[in-house]
Amino acid sequence: MTMARRLAAAAGAGVLALLTVASPARADHPPEVALTSPAARDAPGPVTGTISVDEDEGQTLSEVTFAVVLEDPDAPNDPDDPCFVDLPTDKKVQTFDPAVKVTEASFDFDLDFPCNRAYKLLADVSYENPGVFDLAPAPREPAQEPAALSFSVAIRPVQVKGLEAVYDSATREVALTWAPNPEPDIVGYHVERSPAGQSRFTRISGDAVVTDTAFRDPDVGEGQIYRIIAVRPEPPEGRIESEPSRFVRSGPEAPDLLAAPSGPSNAGGNRSGDRSGPARPPSRTRTTADTGFDQALPFDPSRTTIPSEDLRPEPPGDAAVLAEFDDVSDDEQRRATLVPVAGGLALIVGALHLFLLSKRAGESDIPIVPR
């Protein structure tokens, strides 16, 4: 009996040890976090993805904390930095009801990226990972590293606005000015010129960008066509350019803003298609003669003259008769016109008939008996 008791006690102690020791979080089955939106972004749009745990192991999601940081470890994530990206407060943390046993969830962040950079989305996932004999689930060890999802933003700059050109006839110099672009990471601008009468642009600012919003082109004369292109960084180490601005033409008078002329630029690097073309010459100024009518199309009815009441002619003497005739209805007028016409036709037909009868009587052999 003593031996049997000892064996029973040993077995009970072993079972108790199995029940009281909780298994640690399994490092070979960590949560999976993946992006469903493009990793290389060239247009605004939401950042989307999924989070999942191992359902076969009995894991369930508990809580996920998100953050967006720059990929560059040396770049500070300062909220005062104009390129800083912050998540909405209501989406920084997702909490799940343990009674529901969630094993997969999705996230969707509609973020505003003011700068073209390489970013990381950090997802710190807490999940319940029970062991085989656990009486209660054990949370994930906090020492585990958050999941990091890398993506980049390379959106083109907006088109440059407000381009103006001032021509100095004494020095034959053209002074260009334009409005600064709204992007905080703008690198600079390229200045392109096309000679008068041509449609091929040359990058006169050189390979380096103009960091100011003004440029002077000396000794070129009037009639030159100019346009500006903005430049932003394109991760990891490239640059991306905007569509060309609307162009201006230099001259002694203030130029009009027109659509860009067609023809490719002979400077490389512009990823956009060049759909610009030469502007048509301004239309001729319309002249007005003493008659008050335009001498060139289109005709302007507002320029016609209407005689005054004093200059209108006197009414004719039979105005009263005409006015009375105007009161007759259209049907009565038609009857009054058709009756004389019908009578005339009847007379013509009768005359022709009598003519034929008389002709036949002259040709007949009937003797004429005197009385």
| H helix intervals, the chain | 2-20, 319-326, 330-363
- Domains of the chain and any CATH numbers: 21-153 (2.60.40.1930), 156-280 (2.60.40.10)
What pLDDT, on a 0 to 100 scale, did the predictor assign at position 189? 98
- Please tell me the pTM assigned to this model: 0.58
* pLDDT per position as a tens digit, 255-296: 444 444 444 454 444 444 333 343 444 433 333 334 444 444
Instruction: Indicate the pairing of strand 47-52 with strand 104-109.
Output: antiparallel
Helix (H) or strand (E) holding 266: none
Write out pLDDT tens, residues 22-42: 344 444 578 899 999 999 999
Decide: helix, strand or coil at residue 8.
helix
| Euclidean distance between CA atoms 169 and 254, whole angstroms | 12
C-alpha radius of gyration, the chain, whole number: 48
Write the CA distances from 168 to 59, 88, 176, 220, 252, integer angstroms: 77, 53, 12, 10, 7
| Per-residue pLDDT of the chain in tens (371 residues, 90 and over written 9) | 455 555 455 554 444 443 334 344 444 578 899 999 999 999 888 999 999 998 888 889 999 999 998 888 777 778 888 888 888 888 899 999 888 889 999 999 998 899 999 999 999 999 887 654 444 555 554 446 889 999 999 999 999 999 999 998 888 899 999 999 999 999 999 999 998 777 789 999 888 899 999 999 998 877 899 999 999 999 988 999 999 999 998 875 544 444 444 444 544 444 443 333 434 444 333 333 344 444 444 544 444 444 444 444 555 555 454 444 455 556 666 666 666 777 778 788 777 877 777 776 665 554 544 54
DSSP summary character for residue 201: B
Decide: helix, strand or coil at residue 232: strand
Q: Write the CB contacts of 182 (distance below 8 Å, at least 6 apart in sequence).
A: 158
Note the residue count of the chain.
371
